[in-house]
Amino acid sequence: MKRRDLLRMIGVSAGGAAMYQAMSTLGLAAESPYRGTPKLQGAPHGASVLILGAGLAGMVAAYELRQAGYKVQVLEYNARPGGRNWTIRGDDTYTELGGYTQHCQFDRGLYINPGPWRIPYHHRGLLDYCKKLGVPLEPFVQINHNAYLHNTKAFGGKPQRYRSINADYRGHITELLAKVTQQSKLDALVSKDDQAMLLDSLRQLGGLDKNYAYVTGPSASNRRGYDKPPGGGLSAKPVDSQPLQLHDVLNSNMWRALTEGEMFEFQQTLFQPVGGMGRIGEAFGRSLDGLIHYNAKVTAIHQDEHGVTATYEDSRRPGSVRKAHGDWCICTIPLSILSQIPMNVGAAMADAIGAIPYAATVKIGLQFKRRFWEEDDDIYGGITSTDLPINNISYPSCDFNSRGKGVLLGGYLWGLSAYEFTAMTPEERVRRAVEYGSQIHPQYKTEFDNGVAVSWHRAPFTMGCFATWSEEARAKHYENLCQIDGRIALAGEHASYLPAWQEGAVTSALDVVTRIHQRVVAGGVA
């Protein structure tokens, strides 16, 4: 089995987080290398750089090069900055390939992030730019012990609280290990003193009783929750809950979701910009005001010994041909689009551009008449995982305990399910998301208000969500993709070991501007 097929299967069966874990295992994701912005000194007077794409990579490059004294201009396909750093709010309009137009009806202040939606604490580059640009952040809740785990084939399709599955799985496993330890089965591996400490740690870790058993009682209920929680007055006494049997927990397959918050990319603390992820792109856009030409659809890229020229048309006036020129060019256009644009680079870079596929994903935002997940289910932020095609439900990590309407991420689809939903109209995607979600939250049926659905393979500016590298493709193409070819260099999450993450775009851009600057100062094209 090829690694790409393995990753696709993991994504389909266990979700995106599990796929990221597998990618990390294969060396396809890594910690951010960011250690600060480069010190670019000695730029020749009048040196110019043409940047294609005003996503984060393009705008980081423009920001740093302008600071260094370069003449910079940016061409951007959309009418807004940010690229995939994008937030859809009420009154926004979006038209996808195929001509379907959605008019978002969300109430004021409510939104959905169809692209990136969280920032890990160790993505230092992106966090640094948020600080420089004055973008306020708030916590993003990844793991909520009161959210649900759901499998249509387990417990009659009834969702289970994350805390219950987590407590019962750990409780039964620690009990088994305690029994093995007590039966002297570990004598050859663990000293007697360490066995005593091991037993003490297992009791605490698993909520075991004094006999090292995971059974109904205060220790287990304190982890998995009570049938009747402790209170005050005459009816204050709690009623303990009954743990699930180990066989039922294992057969449910819900334990697969328990590691998501343990993986490096999803360990707390995670952040989100106040008001939506698009606030970052918007802040960059304000900072680069006057440098970005919007509605500019690049149709050709040509380099010679004098520089690089991009031919483009104003998307509002089809057929209007224009040109932009720079001594150098940093191209951040996604490879899924760039592979369709004529560009005279060497065979090695051209082959690399055409070799990397893009992931199919769909995100669906659903507005409800009230925040029933908080009012009825005591769920404040976090993610519910399911084996349904919608994959998960993410609850908003803001405006907790507020009155009025609220917006959920009602589905984040991958793999085959994403392709299936991509073939639907946006209205049908929303309808199906409500139908599936009602199997977890019956309130969907009466509380649903309106929704939007973005299928990334139908996004005209990316035709896919992010680059999906295999180990073989990295070995063959990655260095060729990242080389400076004449006067052209590429940047973006596709040119990083942090695929799909904004930090990959940031660090890729910083790497490229540093190398181009070094070449300019050294005297030109190698």
Quickly tell me which residue has 């005001």 as its tokens: 289
This prediction has a pTM of: 0.92
DSSP reduced 3-state for 232:
coil
Residue 323 lies in a domain: yes
Please tell me whether residues 352 and 476 are part of one structural domain: yes
Which pLDDT band holds residue 9 (cuts at 50, 70, 90)?
A: low
Please tell me whether residues 60 and 200 are part of one structural domain: no
Residue 451 lies in a domain: yes
Which pLDDT band holds residue 5 (cuts at 50, 70, 90)?
A: low
Quickly tell me which residue has 């929680």 as its tokens: 229
Task: Specify whether the CB–CB gap between 149 and 155 falls below 8 A.
Answer: no
Closest CA to 511 of 32, 160, 31: 32
Task: Specify whether the CB–CB gap between 491 and 61 falls below 8 A.
Answer: yes
User: What's the whole-number mean pLDDT along residues 372-382?
Assistant: 98
User: What's the whole-number mean pLDDT along residues 320-338?
Assistant: 97
Written as one letter, the residue type at 508 is S
Q: Which residues contact 493 (CB under 8 A, 6 or more apart)?
A: 57, 466, 467, 499, 500, 501, 502, 504, 505, 508
CATH number of the domain to which 447 belongs? 3.90.660.10
Cα 346-352-357 angle, rounded to 5 deg: 150
Residue 287 lies in a domain: no
User: What's the whole-number mean pLDDT along residues 121-135?
Assistant: 98
Query: How far is 447 from 376, CA to CA, in rounded Å?
Result: 12
Residue 10 lies in a domain: no
Please tell me whether residues 391 and 441 are part of one structural domain: yes
Distance of CA 414 to the CA centre of its chain: 12
- Report the pLDDT value the prediction gives residue 22, as an integer from 0 to 100: 52
Percent of the chain at pLDDT > 70 equals 94
Residue 299 lies in a domain: yes
361 upstream amide cis, omega within 30 of 0? no
Buried residues in 463-495 as b, exposed as e (16+ CB within 10 A)? bbbbbbbbeebbeebbebbbbbbbbbbbbbbbb
Number of domains in the chain: 3
Written as one letter, the residue type at 451 is G
Query: How far is 485 from 20, CA to CA, in rounded Å?
Result: 31
Query: How far is 487 from 247, CA to CA, in rounded Å?
Result: 62
User: What's the whole-number mean pLDDT along residues 6-30?
Assistant: 48
Query: How far is 218 from 148, CA to CA, in rounded Å?
Result: 22
Residue 328 lies in a domain: yes
DSSP state of 301: E
DSSP state of 499: T
Please tell me whether residues 373 and 449 are part of one structural domain: yes
Residue 66 lies in a domain: yes
Please tell me whether residues 452 and 371 are part of one structural domain: yes
- Report the pLDDT value the prediction gives residue 15, as an integer from 0 to 100: 46
Quickly tell me which residue has 């290398």 as its tokens: 33
Please tell me whether residues 347 and 363 are part of one structural domain: no
Distance of CA 189 to the CA centre of its chain: 41
* 364 phi and psi angles, rounded to 5 deg: -130, 120
pLDDT digits (tens, 9 = 90+) for 401-458: 999 999 999 999 999 999 999 999 999 999 999 999 999 999 999 999 999 999 999 9
pLDDT digits (tens, 9 = 90+) for 216-242: 999 999 999 999 999 999 999 999 999
Query: How far is 73 from 69, CA to CA, in rounded Å?
Result: 13
User: What's the whole-number mean pLDDT along residues 60-76?
Assistant: 98
Q: Which residues contact 418 (CB under 8 A, 6 or more apart)?
A: 360, 361, 362, 455, 457
Please tell me whether residues 92 and 136 are part of one structural domain: yes
pLDDT digits (tens, 9 = 90+) for 464-490: 999 999 999 999 999 999 999 999 999
User: What's the whole-number mean pLDDT along residues 383-396?
Assistant: 98
- Report the pLDDT value the prediction gives residue 10, as an integer from 0 to 100: 53
Closest CA to 50 of 338, 291, 322: 291
Residue 196: CA atoms inside 13 Å, Cβ hemisphere, count? Answer: 2
Q: Is 9 exposed, middle or buried, given 0-12, 13-18 or 19+ CB atoms closer than 10 A?
A: middle
User: What's the whole-number mean pLDDT along residues 329-339?
Assistant: 98
Q: What is the mean pLDDT of the chain?
A: 94
- Report the pLDDT value the prediction gives residue 193, as an integer from 0 to 100: 94
CATH number of the domain to which 166 belongs? 1.20.1440.240
The helix (H) or strand (E) run that includes residue 325 is strand 321-326
Q: With left for phi above 0 and alpha for psi between -120 and 50, is residue 399 left, alpha or beta?
A: left
Q: Residue 430's domain spans which residues?
A: 88-146+268-276+359-458
Last residue of a domain, one of 406, 434, 458: 458
